[in-house]
Amino acid sequence: MQLTVDPGRVLFCRDKMIYGHFLEHFHRQIYGGIYDPSSPFADEEGFRSDVLEALKAIRVPIIRWPGGCFVSAYHWQDGVGKDRPFTFNKAWRVEEDNSFGTDEFIRLCRKLDCEPYICTNAGTGTPEEMSDWVEYCNLPFEGRYAKQRIENGFPEPHGVKYWSIGNENYGPWEIGAWKSDQWSLMVEEAAKMMVRVDPSIQLSAAALPDVDWNLRLLQRAGERLRWISIHGYWDSIHQTNALGSYDRCMAYTAQLEDSIRKVRGLLMALGLEKKIRIAFDEWNLRGWYHPNAHTLHQPMDKGEYITPRDDNDINASYTMADAVFSACFLNTLLRNADIVGMANFAPAVNTRGAIFTHEKGIVLRTTYHVFHMYVNLMGDEVIDAHITDVPVLHTVDGLQGRQDVPMVDAVATRCSGSGDVALALVNKSPDAFCPVSLRMQGTGRTEMTTLMGGSTDDYNDIGRDHVRPFANDEAVQPIFGGWKLNLPPHSVNVLRIRPE
């Protein structure tokens, strides 16, 4: 395999928000996750300091909250002020004490120095309720809700720039699902009211790679939108938790660009590709395990729908398959960074998250280390890279039978400040090394960082820290006109080249 890189040809600059994250009031993501006043790790405001430090290390640029399906039955006024009622969330069939609300979310984002991204209730909510939320967060003092924020101890506006109208309201599983013609009217009115409260905000709206849904939405509300939201969970195991094999997960990597390509085409057809960008604001390899939550039959026994959610906490589930898939997805975002400006790994903490919390500390799952490598080692400029003679993984177990999948996924970037070139190279093979001939003009000092496990099923857990990035400089050998690389099996690699 040969990879030819031209550092002088910058294709586009990526937005750092493609490395964003997501939190929802589901299972232990908020309570017992990021927010746990009873924990010995809690800071003065109830946030787990160990989780905060881990999130700071991956420089989280933006967090989407409070959902997710949760938000389609959530009323934000229940979660502000001193008197917060206990409510029953119909999306997840759990009681919510509302101790973590808007102001706590803003505190979290300020601690992490990241942008807050609020998803509004377009299920049981109304356009007026959504615009009132903008008033509470963003107006200096005008109106009932801005004054309420001030009375709650926040004299300065929260200044929330990014807002989403709804979450998956196209799906029959969602509380307050809509038909496409109804949805376009809802978004149009909500956007109108929200922007009249604060014209500086940037709006997204729930969508999917469907022509009818998006066409109606964009024709009616496109002038008021800056983003279009799409989601992706490839290993759809909500009801069974039957995790796909490593081979099947590699087959999913062949589908990563499908949704982006479809939405890009529609935006281009409508002449909106320069105005509206894609926010892939929920994504993960594996769907969350919540049996009998979105089914027609709703059991009364919590052992059938609540207790099984604990299986999301089995750390052995999060292997090198998750890491390799996630790296391939981030590569896809970088290759499409001209149209994809935001993405949110779902979630950040617990469930299928990159960080797992327990009483005595945290576990950094394999996906956490992928983010750490990309955020801290990859550049902000996507540059031209041409790959030839890519080996193929034959007879990979895909959704439609056996299929061939390219063994290596690669993307090239450059750091605008230093001029360093940073390449992400993912070897999907479960057991074979892959030699790569890298051609690039000029010379430089190389540093290779590799993430891999003892096997494709390796994982991290309490007292088990098997999968961590390590310096792998011996895998890089200089040759005439470039370097010879040897990528280990089931590995994520970032090669940094510092010009001399």
Q: For residue 198, how many other CB atoms are within 10 A of its CB?
A: 18
Is the domain of 251 the same as that of 359? yes
Catalytic residue among 104, 135, 168, 189: 168
**Nearest residue to 408 via CA among 430, 392, 386:** 392
Q: Are residues 128 and 202 in the same domain?
A: yes
Looking at residue 225, its pLDDT comes to 98
pTM score, whole prediction:
0.97
**Token couple for 396:** 């990979």
Do both 75 and 132 map to the same domain? Answer: yes
CB neighbour burial string for 371-394, b if at least 16 within 10 angstroms, e if fewer: bbbbbebbbbbbbebebeeebebe
Residues 6 or more apart whose CB falls under 8 angstroms from that of 153 comprise 103
> Looking at 377, 398, 431, which one is the last position of a domain?
377
Domain that holds residue 126: 14-377
Helices (H), 226-355: 246-252, 258-269, 320-335
**CB-facing half-sphere around the CA of 174: CA atoms within 13 A:** 22
- Give the CATH number of the domain where residue 178 resides: 3.20.20.80
- Say if residue 354 is in the same domain as residue 410: no
Same domain, 407 and 357: no
Could you count the other beta carbons within 10 Å of the beta carbon of residue 416? Answer: 12
Task: Read off the pLDDT band of 415 (50, 70, 90).
Answer: very high
Please check whether residue 62 is in contact with residue 344, taking contact to mean a CB–CB distance below 8 angstroms.
yes
CA neighbor of 346 nearest in space, from 362, 367, 321: 367
User: Is 282 in the active site?
Assistant: yes
Which phi and psi angles does 368 have, rounded to 5°? -55, -45
The residue assigned the tokens 């390796």 is 458
Q: State how many domains the chain has.
A: 2
Please say which residue of 377, 410, 440 terminates a domain: 377
Among residues 377, 392, 417, which one ends one of the domains? 377
Q: What single string gives the DSSP state of each residue in 170-222?
A: TSTTSTT---HHHHHHHHHHHHHHHHHH-TT-EEEEB--S-HHHHHHHHHHHG
Report the CATH number that the domain containing residue 486 is assigned in CATH: 2.60.40.1180
Contact assessment for residue 353 and residue 365, using Cβ atoms and an 8 Å cutoff:
yes
d(CA 289, CA 293): 9
Kindly report, residue by residue over 354-404, the tens digit of the pLDDT: 999 999 999 999 999 999 999 999 999 999 999 999 999 987 776 666 788
Q: Are residues 373 and 458 in the same domain?
A: no
| Side-chain half-sphere CA neighbours of 420 within 13 A | 18
Please write the tens of the pLDDT for every residue from 447-485. Answer: 999 999 999 999 999 999 999 999 999 999 999 999 999
Q: How large is the average pLDDT for residues 322-327?
A: 98
- Return the beta strands (E) in 238-301 as ranges: 277-286
Q: Are residues 373 and 385 in the same domain?
A: no
Report the pLDDT value the prediction gives residue 399, as an integer from 0 to 100: 64
Residue reference for tokens 């599983």:
173
The pLDDT, as a whole number, for residue 394 is 80
**What span, in angstroms and rounded, lies between the C-alpha atoms of 320 and 455?**
8
**pLDDT score of 374:** 98
Q: Which member of 104, 135, 174, 282 is catalytic? A: 282
Q: Answer yes or no: do 468 and 361 share one domain.
A: no
Is residue 7 scored above 80 in pLDDT? yes
Question: Is the sign of the CA dihedral 464, 468, 470, 476 positive or negative?
Answer: positive
473 and 366 assigned to the same domain? no
Same domain, 176 and 274: yes
| pLDDT at residue 52 greater than cutoff 80 | yes
pLDDT, tens digit (0-9, with 9 covering 90-100), for 287-310: 999 999 999 999 999 999 999 999
Do residues 466 and 369 both lie within one domain?
no
Residue 389 Ramachandran class (φ > 0 left, ψ -120 to 50 alpha, else beta) = left
Same domain, 368 and 391: no
